């Protein structure tokens, strides 16, 4: 194979790679920012993990709802406040 062909092939592969990765990123961003069709992610203030709202453990506090990944984290949060 001549060197020019290898160069062109490499360039084409690079372009294809960029198209594929760029496209995926845009798709993912749209999915999260989209309407209520996808589950909303909420951050657990104790362990900083993002959990889907539907699966989160909630706590009502001062008119606000705080979400946790598990009962364990909710207990920790309550315990910390009591200190």
Is 69 among the residues that bind Zn ion (CB under 5 A)?
yes
- By CB under 5 A, name the one of 42, 56, 66, 73 that touches Zn ion: 73
Q: Provide the mask over 16-55, with x wherever binding to Zn ion is found by CB under 5 A and - wherever it is not.
A: ----------------------------x-xx--------
Scanning the structure block, which residue is given the tokens 């009591």?
82
User: How many CA atoms does the CB half-sphere of 61 hold within 13 Å?
Assistant: 9
Dihedrals φ, ψ of 37, to 5°?
A: -65, -35
Is 74 among the residues that bind Zn ion (CB under 5 A)?
no
- Nearest-angstrom CA–CA distance, 68 and 53: 9
Residues at the contact surface with Zn ion, assessed by CB under 5 A? 44, 46-47, 69, 73
């Amino acid at each position: 194979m001549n060197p020019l062909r290898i160069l062109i092939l490499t360039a084409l592969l690079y372009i294809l790679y960029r198209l594929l990765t760029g496209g995926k990123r845009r798709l993912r961003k749209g999915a999260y920012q989209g309407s209520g069709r996808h589950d909303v992610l909420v951050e657990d203030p104790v362990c900083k993990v993002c959990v889907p709202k539907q699966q989160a453990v909630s706590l009502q506090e001062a008119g606000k709802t705080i979400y946790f990944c598990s009962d364990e984290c909710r207990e920790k949060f309550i315990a910390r406040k009591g200190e």
